[in-house]
Amino acid sequence: MSSLADSPGILWIVATPIGNLSDFSVRGRAVLTQVDVIAAEDTRHSRRLTEHLGVTTPLISLHEHNEEARSRMLIDRLQAGESLALISDAGTPLISDPGFVLVRAVRAAGIEVRTVPGPCAAVAALSIAGLPTDRFVFEGFLPAKATARRQRLKELADEPRTLVYYESSHRIAATAADLASVLGTDRAIVVARELTKMHEQSVQLTTGALVDWLAADANHRRGEFVLVVAGAPVIEKTVRDISLDALLAELVPVTGTKQAAAIAARLTGVARNRAYAQALTLSDTG
């Protein structure tokens, strides 16, 4: 067992570019240079980045299949005083990427976790979409199977906040078809592909038009995608949505049963005698 150091090391969560290597931060490079080890989703992929940056720190793999076991080993190293950085293939670790198991375990062990923030495809797409960003729902990848995918979309069909999805070139056409069939063909949607790369493209369409746009040109279906979908229109609650009982409970103490019944009948559309009978019940029980 490793001997415990006076103070444990720090786990750094370091964001990397989502396409354009120039987006890597100066601080990110300094942290990757100084830590004892870098945990990476795919070490071969990340070695290209570290070589580009001139960073020689050793890399160790941490992916969904070994995260549990690796986390225990890495916590031992942190407790022995080593410091560690976690990076993923692209963007911010843990955002549709490995790292949650590690960060949770590191926190549970009382070890400090720090961030070097940077690119994230979801935030980048939101920032250029021109759809409301004051509140949004990040849904990551939709399920691969059509039935589960449609079910997931149905669950948020009435969600008023902007929705953000990740998608790959393999499934973009199927997902677009499902979005149109579940949410209707008129919902505003921004398709953002290849952000920060040579073929970066983002267009605002409707869910119906997206299906045609993808079918029209094979290039439109290439690369990595973020879909930013306008939330469902908010339907103003009308007084007809208020229950008769709730309305009468407010009115009876102020106006008496007769007038309360008349107002409630007018506002809710129920028969006046029914409203009156109900008002009497309420005033009896009150």
User: Which stretches of the chain bind ligand SAM, using CB under 6 A?
Assistant: 18-19, 88, 90-92, 95-97, 120-122, 166-168, 192-197, 224-226
Closest distance of CB 105 from ligand SAM, Å: 20
CA distances from 20 to 25, 101, 128, 195, 199 (A): 12, 28, 17, 9, 11
In Å, how far from its chain's centre is CA 154?
17
Q: Cβ distance 83 to 34 under 8 Å?
A: yes
Q: Cβ distance 159 to 229 under 8 Å?
A: no
Closest distance of CB 192 from ligand SAM, Å: 6
Look up tokens 């005033």; give the residue.
Answer: 283
Closest distance of CB 33 from ligand SAM, Å: 22
Residue 129 or 275 with smaller CB distance to ligand SAM: 129
Closest distance of CB 8 from ligand SAM, Å: 26
Three-state secondary-structure class, residue 264: helix
The residues, ordered by sequence, that sit 6+ positions from 211 with a Cβ below 8 Å of its Cβ are 173, 176, 177, 180
- Which amino acid, 113? V
- Dmax over CA atoms of the chain, in Å, equals 84
Closest distance of CB 269 from ligand SAM, Å: 48
Residue 90 or 252 with smaller CB distance to ligand SAM: 90
Closest distance of CB 196 from ligand SAM, Å: 6
Q: Cβ distance 166 to 149 under 8 Å?
A: no
CB atoms closer than 10 angstroms to residue 229: 27
Closest distance of CB 154 from ligand SAM, Å: 21
Q: How many helices (H) and strands (E) does the chain have?
A: 11, 10
Residue 9 or 119 with smaller CB distance to ligand SAM: 119
Residue 92 or 206 with smaller CB distance to ligand SAM: 92
Residue 149 or 247 with smaller CB distance to ligand SAM: 149
Of the candidates 147, 129, 142, 76, which has an alpha carbon nearest to the alpha carbon of residue 106? Answer: 76
Residue 165 or 276 with smaller CB distance to ligand SAM: 165
- Select the residue whose beta carbon is closest to ligand SAM and give its number: 91
Residue 191 or 248 with smaller CB distance to ligand SAM: 191
Sign of torsion over alpha carbons 126, 129, 132, 138:
negative
Q: Which residues are bridge partners to 141 per DSSP?
A: 166
Closest distance of CB 1 from ligand SAM, Å: 34
Look up tokens 């028969």; give the residue.
Answer: 271
Residue 129 or 247 with smaller CB distance to ligand SAM: 129
